[in-house]
Amino acid sequence: MIHKPKKVFVDGPISPQFIADSIAKHQSKTTIGAHNIFLGQIRADEKAGGTVTGIEYTAYTDMAEQAFHDIREAAFARFKLTCMHIYHSLGLVPTGEISLFVFVSSPHRRATFEALEFIVEEIKAKVPIFGKELVGQAGDYTWKENK
C-alpha cells in the first residue's frame, strides 16, 4: 500500500492539546484495539556553561520529509498497523516541552510496541534534523548529537 507523504514538521513545541485532539480523532476507527505513543521531551541537561534551556531545531527539510515517508512505509510493511502519525518540531522548543510525537494504532497491542521502537530509532538515526542546545542565560550553546 502506498501512503501519501504527510506533513511532519510543526513550528515550535507540540502542545498536549494537539496530542489529546489526535487521540480523540481515532474514536471513530473502531477496528483499533491498541494505541501507543512516544513523546520526546527536552531535558534540562547540565553543561559546562550552565543548564540547557531549550533546543533550536533545523532540518534539511526536503530530505527529512522523504526520510520520514520512507520510515512510515517501512513500518507499515513490517508491522500490522491501522494508522501512524509522526510530528517533529522545528525552531525553538523550551525545556520540558515536547519535540517529537509518534502515534501508532493497531487492532492488537504487540504490533504497537514493536513499531513504536522501530520508528523512533529510525528517526534518530536517519532523519537529517539538527539541534542547537541553548545553555544558560548568556547565549551559549552546544550542538546536540544522537547516540
CA pair distance 37, 19, nearest whole angstrom: 9
Q: Return the number of the residue (16 or 128) whose C-beta is nearest other proteins.
A: 128
- Decide whether 11 or 62 has the Cβ nearer to other proteins: 62
DSSP 4: -
N residues, the chain: 147
Cβ-based nearer residue to other proteins, 26 or 69: 69
CB 111 within 8 A of CB 81: yes
Which residues would be at the binding site for other proteins (CB under 8 A)? 40, 55, 57-60, 62-64, 66, 88, 99-100, 120, 123-132, 143-146
Nearest residue to 54 via CA among 115, 10, 98: 98
